[in-house]
Structure 1
Amino acid sequence: SSIPRPSAVAKVTGLAEFGADAAVRMPENTLHLALAQAKVSHALIKGIDTSEAEKMPGVFKVLTHKDVKGKNRITGLITFPTNKGDGWERPILNDEKIFQYGDALAIVCADSEANARAAAEKVKFDLELLPEYMSAPEAMAPDAIEIHPGTPNVYYDQLEEKGADTAPFFSDSGNVVVEGSYYTQRQPHLPIEPDVGYGYINEQGQVVIHSKSVAIHLHALMIAPGLGLEFPKDLVLVQNTTGGTFGYKFSPTMEALVGVAVMATGRPCHLRYNYEQQQNYTGKRSPFWTTMRYAADRQGKILAMETDWTVDHGPYSEFGDLLTLRGAQYIGAGYGIANIRGKGRTVATNHCWGAAFRGYGAPESEFPSEVLMDELAEKLGMDPFELRALNCYKEGDTNPSGQIPEVMSLPEMFDKMRPYYEESKKRVKERSTAEIKRGVGVALGVYGAGLDGPDTSEAWVELNDDGSVTLGNSWEDHGQ
Structure 2
Amino acid sequence: MEVRLQKKVLIINGVERPFMCDPERETLSDALRRIGLTGVKVGCGTGVCGSCSVILNGKVIRSCTKKIAAVEDYSKITTIEGIGNAQHLHPLQVAWMNCGAVQCGFCVPGFIVSAYALLQENPDPTREEVRDWFQKTRNVCRCTGYKQIVDAVMAAAKVMRGECSIEDIKFHNPEDGEYYGKPVVRPSALAKVTGLADYGDDQALKMPEGTLYGAIVQPRVAHHAKILAIHTEEAEAMPGVYKVITAKDLLAAGGSNLMAEGQFHERSTVMTPSRKVFQDEKIFRYGDVVALVLAESHGLAREAAKKVTVDIEPLPEYLTYLDAVMPDAIRVHDDTPNIFAEQPVLKGVGMEDAYNVEEMIDKAPYVVEGSFMSTREPHLSIEGCVLQSYFDKDGVLCIHCKSQCTYSSIGRIGNSLGVPKDKFRIIMNPTGASFGWSTNAGDLVLAGAGTVCTGRPVSLSMSYEEHQHYSGKRCPAYSNGRLACDKDGKIIAAEFDVGMDHGAYSWGGDDVMTKPARFTFWPYNVPNVAGLVRVANTNHAFGTAYRSYGSPQAYTLSEPLMDMMADKLGMDPFEFRYKNIARPGETNINSYPFRQYPMEKMMDTMRPLYEKAVAEAKAADTPEKRRGVGIAWGGFNVTEGTTDSAEVALELGADGRIWKYDTWHNMGQGGDVGSLMVTLEALKELHITPEDVQLVQNDTKLCPDTGMAGASRSFYMDGNATKIAAEKLLNNMRKPDGTFRTYEEMKAEGIETKVIGRYETTTTPGLTRLDPNTGVGDPTPAFTYCLNMAEVEVDTKTGKTTVLKFTCVDMVGRVGNIDAVNGQAYGGISHSIGFALKEDYQDVKKHANMFGAGVSYIKDIPDDINVIHMPVTIEDGPFGSSGASEAFQASGHVAVLNGIARACGVRIHEMPALPAKVKAGLDAIAAGKEPEAPKKYFLGSDMYEELENIKENPVQYDSYNFYQPLGDADADRPF
TM-score bracket, normalised by the shorter chain, equals over 0.9
In 1, distance between residues paired with 2:667 and 2:388?
19
Contact 1:377/1:383 (CA < 8 Å) preserved in 2? yes
Three-state SS of the structure 2 residue aligned to 1:225 is coil
**Length, aligned pairs only:** 478
Partner of 1:30: 211
Q: Quick one: distance in 2 between partners of 1:12 and 1:363?
A: 33
The corresponding residue for 1:229 is: 419
Q: Which residue of 2 aligns with 1:75?
A: 260
Query: Corresponding residue for 1:110?
Result: 295
Mapped partners of 2:256, 2:495: distance in 1: 43
1:479 positional shift:
3.7
Runs of at least 4 residues off by over 3 Å: 453-457, 461-471
* 293, 314, 328: which one aligns with 1:143: 328
Establish whether residue 391 from structure 1 lines up as the match of residue 576 from structure 2.
no
Aligned residue for 1:331?
520
- Measured against aligned partners, the alpha-carbon deviations of 1:182-220 in whole angstroms (never above 9, x if no partner) come to 000101111111110011100100110111011011111
Report what 2:441 is aligned to. Answer: 252
1:171 aligns with 2:362: yes
Per the TM alignment, residue 22 of structure 1 is displaced from its structure 2 partner at its CA by 1.3
- Contact kept in structure 1, 2:479 and 2:557, CA below 8 Å: yes
- 3-state SS of 1:221 partner: helix
CA distance in 2, matches of 1:436, 1:446: 32
Mapped contact 1:307–1:343 kept (Cα < 8 A)? yes
* CA–CA distance in structure 1, aligned partners of residues 262 and 599 of structure 2: 37
Equivalent position of 1:58 in the other structure = 240
Verify the 8 A CA contact 1:329 1:450 in the aligned structure 2: no
Q: Distance in 1 between matches of 2:643 and 2:523?
A: 19
- Equivalent in the alignment of 2:540: 351
Please state how far the C-alpha of 1:325 moved relative to its aligned partner: 1.2
Query: Could you tell me whether the CA contact under 8 Å between 1:67 and 1:260 is conserved in 2?
Result: no
Root-mean-square deviation (CA), in Å? Answer: 1.9
Q: Distance in 2 between matches of 1:9 and 1:156?
A: 47
Q: Which moved more, 1:162-171 or 1:233-242?
A: 162-171
Separation in 1 of the partners of 2:226 and 2:470?
A: 19
Q: CA deviation at 1:451?
A: 7.8
3-state SS in 2 of match to 1:458: strand
Task: Note if 1:376 corresponds to 2:558.
Answer: no
Of stretches 198-207 and 163-172 in structure 1, the one that deviates more from structure 2 is 163-172
Largest Rg, 1 or 2: 2
CA 1:129–1:85 in 2, change beyond 3 Å: closer, same or farther? same
Structure-2-length-normalised TM-score: 0.48
Structure 1: distance between partners of 2:603 and 2:659? 48
Distance 1:455 1:377, change over 3 A: farther
Identity of aligned residues (%): 40
Distance 1:403 1:450 in 2: 17
Deviation at 1:370, TM superposition (A): 0.5
Between the aligned partners of 2:313 and 2:543, the Cα distance in structure 1 is 25
> Which ranges in structure 2 are unaligned for 5 or more consecutive residues?
1-177, 350-355, 670-975
2:318 to 125, 129, 133: 133
Contact 2:513 / 2:535 at 8 angstroms: preserved in 1? yes
Check whether the contact 2:648–2:661 (CA below 8 A) recurs between aligned residues: yes
Letter in 1 for 2:398: V
Amino acid at match of 1:358: R
**Bigger relative contact order (CA 8 A; separation at least 6):** 1
2:472 is the alignment partner of 1:291: no
Q: Indicate which of 163, 187, 192 corresponds to 1:11.
A: 192
Is 1:160 the counterpart of 2:345? The answer is yes
Q: CA deviation at 1:24?
A: 1.2
Which one-letter code corresponds to 1:364 in the other structure?
Q
Say if 2:264 and 2:508, in contact at 8 Å, map to a contact too.
Answer: no
Alignment of 1:286-325 (within 5 A): 286-325=475-514
Report the CA distance between 1:59 and its aligned residue.
0.4
2:874 maps to what in 1? none
Mapped contact 1:87–1:317 kept (Cα < 8 A): no
Higher helix share: 2
- Residue 167 of structure 1 and its aligned partner are, at CA, apart by 2.3
- Cα distance in 2 for partners of 1:85, 1:377 equals 42
Once residues 522 and 310 of structure 2 are traced to their aligned partners in structure 1, the CA distance between those partners, rounded to angstroms, is 48
Change (3 A) 1:110 1:290: same
Relative to structure 1, the CA distance from residue 433 to residue 463 in structure 2 (aligned partners, 3 Å threshold; closer, same or farther) is closer
- Is contact 2:219-2:309 (8 Å) kept? no
Is 1:185 matched with 2:375?
yes
Q: Are the structure 2 counterparts of residues 31 and 351 from structure 1 closer, same or farther at C-alpha, using a change threshold of 3 Å?
A: same
Q: Show CA shifts across 1:28-87 (max 9, x none).
A: 211000111131111112222211111012000111101112211112222222210035
- Which moved further from structure 2: 394-403 or 276-285? 394-403
Question: TM-score, normalised to structure 1's length?
Answer: 0.95
Residue 340 of structure 1 is matched in structure 2 by 529
Of 364-373 and 462-471, more deviation after overlay is shown by 462-471
Please list the CA deviations of residues 133-184 of structure 1 after superposition, one character each: whole Å capped at 9, or x if unmatched.
11111111112111111211111111111113312321225x2000000000
Alpha-carbon offset, residue 395 of structure 1: 1.7
Asked if residue 43 in structure 1 is aligned to residue 218 in structure 2, the reply is: no
SS state at 1:447 partner: strand
Indicate the larger mover: 11-20 or 47-56.
11-20
Aligned counterparts, 1:437-448, within 5 A: 437-448=626-637
What is the CA–CA distance in structure 2 between the aligned matches of 1:98 and 1:60, rounded to whole Å?
A: 26
Q: 1:71 to 1:454 in 2, by over 3 A?
A: closer
Does the Cα contact within 8 Å between 1:305 and 1:337 map onto a contact in 2?
A: yes
* Mean Cα deviation higher: 438-447 or 109-118: 438-447
Query: 1 CA distance for matches of 2:191 and 2:655?
Result: 29
Instruction: Say if 1:451 and 1:30 are closer, same or farther in 2 by CA, change over 3 A.
Output: closer
Deviation at 1:456, TM superposition (A): 5.3
Contact preservation (8 Å) 2:260, 2:414: no
- 1:307 is displaced (CA, Å) by 0.5
Bigger mean CA offset, 1-10 vs 26-35: 1-10
- Work out the CA distance in 1 between the residues paired with 2:272 and 2:525: 36
Q: Are the aligned partners of 2:481 and 2:497 in contact in 1 as well (CA < 8 Å)?
A: yes
Shift of the alpha carbon at 1:414? 1.1
Alpha-carbon distance in 2 for matches of 1:387, 1:449? 28
1:197 corresponding residue in structure 2: 387
User: How far apart, CA to CA, are the structure 2 residues paired with 1:77 and 1:150?
Assistant: 14
Q: Which residue does 2:886 correspond to in 1?
A: none
* Corresponding residue to 2:664 among 467, 475, 478: 475
The answer to whether 1:271 aligns with 2:460 is: yes
**Distance in structure 1 (CA, Å) of the matches to 2:199 and 2:219:** 29
The Cα of 1:406 is off from its aligned counterpart by 2.0
Which one of 587, 596, 619 corresponds to residue 407 of structure 1? Answer: 596
Counterparts of 1:103 and 1:450 in 2: how far apart (Å)? 32
Residue type of the alignment partner of 2:318: Y
The aligned counterpart of 1:261 is: 450
Q: CA deviation at 1:477?
A: 1.1
**Counterpart of 1:437 in 2: which secondary structure?**
strand
Letter paired with 1:342: G
Contact 2:324–2:538 (8 Å) recurs in 1: yes
